[in-house]
Each structure stands twice: as C-alpha cells, then as structure tokens.
C-alpha cells in the first residue's frame, strides 16, 4: 500500500473514546493526580462536554482554543471538540499575553477553555470570545450534563487541530491538521514502535506541541493503553513516577534526557518497566544515550515537524550503532524525496532539502493561501526546509536548517519573530538573531542589535521589552550592540559570520 492509499476509511478522532469503550470500558484511559478516567467514563464525559460546547454556541467547524498545562481535562476537551465536529486550537501557556491575543484573533476562536494555571494569562490576553474554566462549570457539565444527541458526521479530511508555529514574517501561523492526518501519523507510529493495550505512557511533551499529541498519546489511546499527562517536566519527579506507576513509554527532547541522567535520583531510579523512549529535535549526546543504554533502555530518535503531524523518520527498533546521529528511515506511510536545483530528485546523493508527502502531511496554513502554496512543490510534496543527507540504505541525517530555526530545549525559535519584536524599539535600526551551541539547551539565541546613530543601547530595557512580548524561551541569551550588521553584496545578513562571532561569548559563558 502506498502512502496515499485508501485513507477514507479513517474515522474522526472524536469517535475514539466511544469505540474503545465498547471493548475496554473499565480499563484506565487517562490518569491524573487526583482521578483516573476509564474508557467508559471518558466516552460519557466527552459526549456531555460536546453537548455543553454546543449549548454555548460552538458549531461544527468552529475553533475552540485551549490554554493551560497538560492535564486530563485537556485531553477531554480535545475529544469533546472533535466529537462536535469543531477544531481544537491548543495555545502555548508559556507565551506572552499579546501572543495569545493574536492567536485567538487569528484563529477566530469561538470559545477559550482555560486551566486554573493559565487564568491570569487568559485574562491578560483579553479574549473577545467566551471562556470556560476547567476548575469551574467544566466538571459539572462532564458529569451531570446531557449527552450530545446527534453527533455530526466527521470525515478524515475535516480539520481537527490548528497548531501554531512561528512564521518567517515574524507572525505565528497555524498548520491545519485533519483527522486523517493525525490518525495516519498514529498508524505510522504504531508501525515503528511497540505499543500494547497494557502500556502506561507519560505525556511529558506539552499538548500544544504535535509531539505531545502525536508521538505517544494518540498511539497509546488507540491501542487501549493509559496516558498520564504531566503538567510540567521535573527530572526527579519523572524518574520517581516511572518506578511508582510502572511507566512503559514517553517522548522527550534531548535536554530532558540529559537532565534525568544528571539528576541525583538517576542511579536509584527503577526503570525496569520502561521499554520505549522517543526523542527528537536534535541528536542526543553520546554519553547521555550510553547512560540510558546502560540502564537497559534504548532510545529511538525521530525526525519530523508540525506540518507532518509530526512524524517523518524514525530509527528502527534496535537502532544501528554505526549511525549514532541518524534520524532513521521514513515511516511506513511516508514518501520522501529531495529538492535539487528547484526540481524533485532521488534521495541518495548530495545533501539537499527534504521533501515529504503522505496522508499525515497537512494541507496548508490557516488563512495563509500564499504561504500554503509556497510550502509545496510538484503537487503535494511538502518542503521541510531542512537539509538532509540520505545514504543508499535510506538512513537519513540532518545536516542544516534551511529556515535558520533555533531549537532550544526542544522548542523552536524562529529568528524573524524575535527580530520583529526587537525592531519595535526606537533605538534599534535593525536586528539579527542566530543560534549558538549551549551545553544545557542544545542551542540558545544570540541577538545582534544595530543601534541608531546618536542613540544609546540599554540592555536591561531591551530585555524588559522582549519579556513583555515574547515567551521566555524565545528571549536571546546574548544581546550584542553593533554599529552595523554584516551583509553580502545583495544586502542579506551574513548569519554565518554572526554565529562565529557569538561562539567565543558562548565558550566563555560555558567555562564559568
């Protein structure tokens, strides 16, 4: 079967709890700190929540935003929205209020579901849409409300989620992922990882990321296992929870894996039940991978992006010691090619931009027809923006990032977004942000600020300005005032030169 074959059979995600409840009604589905929800309970709560959303004016196709840390209520919200035929818009609770307000307006949200941890942020964003607090009326609706009388028909091509990713123009844009996209990504994951109905997974990655939803959570729920969403990452707490709850799987970024290895509780942690640890974003350090292997846990690296729901490649079970930095081979229902000299080409050969297609690849960006069209070539081949090297056996290695994205602790930081905020300052004539290596986060930002003639550069004031408009992880670690930015003959900033300038500063910082 090819990557594009017969995907009309895929049901809408909103029907998953009900379908699973028929066969496993009494099995745990979602595990929280104060309650466990069985598949039967989940199906009933989802139906009542869906009716509650409908009663508040939410209709099929409407966008329902969600803001807050990982919790059982977040996944209940997702399934209820999908059950109603509406679209989930998960928002990053680490963002600034101005960023949240922009996304709510851009998505045209009909309702904002807010966790108790994000109440102040939601209020500061000043949403024009109504809000529903999960620590208020939410539970009453889920336990005592009326069930949805007539669930609308949902097709695989209907949108399921809008996931925001930073745009090259400095404004975030939302990738539209359909029910079919998410389901076929789940099937790809199940083809390359071992998931059973007895599994108990930790959802460590935030659910506003495609990784949190697509790599572990949906595959485990489709198989009938249980998922425990964690509100925040704490290395000691995760290590303790693995042993206490018999955790079998989770996904993480390399920084998290390193922090667990370096935690005082690492040597005494009970990891015997753990059989699957997925990671991506950047290669893990060899000493960190070796530490996990010495504890009997083999890591599986994957490669992907939001637009692919997210999986594109994964290291096969068992790996290959001869390929320590490889991201593996394409998933089962994934087609890959290269873009060379503006045309689609075969995989082996010189490094080039990777092209991807398949039933898990998105159709475009919300309300951005021009950017959507530019994201594809030769019909339905998505331009990943990443340069990869692929050998004759199909194993791939990431060489560079075409779009200059900075990956810090697994979080994507797009320089253009940070630069757009910097140049709002009167004293800033221009700015350029580049990534430099960092021992803890993999990469951090270094911002070069071209100061206007006659103006003074106040680093504290600039940092306060950034903190008011950007999430903390997007704020550059280094701020450097310069008289002029280096440019080539066509006026483009020479980012390579700026990275080289920043390396000595990063080295001095690391030596402290």
- pLDDT above 50: residue 164: yes
Residues of the chain with CATH 3.40.50.980: 19-154
Strand partners, 179: none
Exposure string over 207-227, b if 16+ CB within 10 A, otherwise e = bbbbbbbbbbbbbbbbbbbbb
Percent of the chain with pLDDT strictly greater than 70: 93
**CA separation for the pair 506, 414 (Å, rounded):** 20
User: Got the DSSP string for 134-186?
Assistant: TTTHHHHHHHHSPPPSSPPP--TTSEEEEEEE--TTSS-EEEEEEHHHHHHHH
Q: pLDDT band for position 197 (50/70/90)? A: very high
SS (H, E, C) 57-83: CCCCCCEEEEECCCCHHHHHHHHHHHH
| Cβ contact 37:72 at 8 Å | yes
Residue 9 has pLDDT above 60, yes or no: no
Say which CATH superfamily domain 406-511 falls into.
ANL, C-terminal domain (3.30.300.30)
20/151: higher pLDDT: 151
Q: How far apart are the first and last CA of the chain?
A: 56
Mean pLDDT on 155-174: 84
Can you give the three-state secondary structure of 275-331, one letter per residue?
Answer: CEEEECCCCCCHHHHHHHHHCCCCEEEEEECHHHCCEEEECCCCCCCCCCCCCEEEC
CA distances from 210 to 100, 278, 307, 354, 367 (A): 18, 14, 9, 20, 20
CB environment 267-295: b (16+ within 10 A), e (fewer): eebebeebbbbbbbbbbbeeebbebbeee
Q: What is the DSSP letter of 84?
A: T
pLDDT tens, position by position, 263-301 = 999 999 999 999 999 998 777 777 888 899 999 998 999
Stated pTM of the model: 0.83
Residue 511, pLDDT above cutoff 70: no
DSSP-based three-state secondary structure for 372: helix
Mean pLDDT of 212-218: 94
Query: What mean pLDDT comes out for the span 201-228?
Result: 95
How far is it between the farthest Cα atoms of the chain? Answer: 73
Prior bond of 224 cis (ω within 30°): no
Q: How far is CA 242 from the centre of its chain?
A: 23
Nearest C-alpha neighbor of 83 from the set 143, 142, 9, 165: 142
Residues of the chain with CATH 3.30.300.30: 406-511
The domain 19-154 is placed in CATH, from the list 3.40.1390.10, 3.90.226.10, 3.40.50.170, 3.40.50.980, at: 3.40.50.980
User: For the residues 47-73, what does the mean pLDDT come to?
Assistant: 97
Q: Pick the closest to residue 279 from 251, 260, 303, 259 (CA basis).
A: 251
Polymer length of the chain: 512
Residue 95 burial class via C-beta count within 10 angstroms: exposed 0-12, middle 13-18, buried 19 and up? buried
Nearest to 380 by CA among 427, 424, 336, 348: 336
Q: Report the range of poorest mean pLDDT among 198-202, 380-384, 388-392.
A: 388-392
Predicted confidence at residue 172, as pLDDT, reads 87
The arithmetic mean of pLDDT across residues 386-415, rounded, is: 83
- Strand pairing class (428-438; 343-345): unpaired
Write out pLDDT tens, residues 232-271: 999 999 999 999 999 999 999 888 898 999 899 999 999 9
């Amino acid at each position: 079967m090819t990557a594009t074959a017969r995907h009309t059979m895929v049901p809408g995600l909103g029907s998953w709890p009900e379908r699973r409840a028929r066969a496993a009604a009494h099995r745990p589905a979602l595990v929280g700190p104060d309650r466990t929800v069985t598949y039967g309970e989940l199906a009933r709560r989802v139906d009542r929540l869906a009716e509650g959303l409908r009663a508040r004016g939410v209709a099929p196709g409407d966008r329902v935003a969600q803001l807050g840390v990982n919790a059982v209520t977040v996944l209940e919200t997702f399934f209820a929205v999908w059950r109603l035929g509406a679209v989930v818009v998960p928002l990053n609770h680490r963002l600034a209020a101005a960023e949240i307000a922009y996304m709510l307006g851009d998505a045209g949200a009909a309702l904002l579901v807010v966790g108790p941890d994000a109440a102040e942020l939601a209020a500061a964003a000043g949403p024009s849409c109504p809000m529903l607090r999960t620590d208020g009326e939410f539970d009453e609706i889920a336990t005592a409300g009326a069930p949805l009388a007539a669930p609308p028909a949902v097709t695989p091509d209907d949108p399921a989620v809008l996931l925001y990713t930073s745009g090259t123009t400095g404004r975030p844009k939302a990738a539209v992922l359909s029910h079919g996209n998410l389901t076929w990504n789940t099937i790809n994951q199940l083809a390359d990882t071992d998931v059973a109905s007895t599994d108990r997974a930790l959802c460590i990655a935030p659910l506003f990321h495609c990784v949190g939803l697509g790599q572990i959570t949906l595959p485990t729920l489709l198989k009938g296992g249980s998922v425990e969403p964690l509100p925040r990452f704490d290395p000691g707490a995760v290590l303790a929870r693995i042993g206490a709850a018999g955790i079998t799987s989770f996904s993480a970024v390399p920084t998290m894996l390193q922090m667990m290895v370096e935690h005082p509780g690492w040597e005494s942690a009970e990891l015997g039940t753990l059989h699957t640890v997925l990671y991506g974003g950047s290669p893990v350090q060899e000493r960190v991978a070796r530490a996990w292997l010495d504890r009997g846990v083999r890591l599986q690296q994957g490669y992907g992006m939001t637009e692919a729901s997210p999986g594109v490649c994964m290291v096969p079970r068992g790996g290959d010691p001869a390929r320590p930095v490889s991201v593996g081979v394409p998933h089962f229902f994934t087609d890959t090619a290269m873009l060379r000299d503006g045309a689609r080409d075969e995989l082996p050969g010189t490094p080039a931009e990777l092209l991807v297609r398949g039933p898990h690849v998105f159709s475009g960006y919300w309300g951005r027809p021009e950017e959507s069209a530019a994201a594809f070539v030769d019909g339905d081949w998505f331009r990943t923006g990443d340069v990869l090297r692929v050998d004759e056996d199909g194993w791939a290695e990431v060489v560079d990032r075409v779009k200059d994205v900075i990956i810090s602790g697994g979080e994507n930081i797009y320089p253009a977004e940070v630069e757009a905020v910097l140049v709002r300052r009167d004293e800033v004539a221009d700015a350029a942000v580049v990534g430099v290596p960092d021992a803890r986060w993999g990469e951090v930002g270094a911002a070069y600020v071209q100061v206007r003639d006659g103006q003074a550069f106040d680093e504290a004031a600039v940092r306060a300005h950034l903190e008011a408009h950007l999430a903390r992880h997007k704020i550059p670690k280094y701020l450097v005032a310069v008289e002029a930015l280096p440019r080539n003959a066509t006026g483009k900033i020479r980012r390579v030169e700026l990275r080289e300038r920043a390396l000595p500063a990063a080295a001095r910082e690391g030596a402290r």
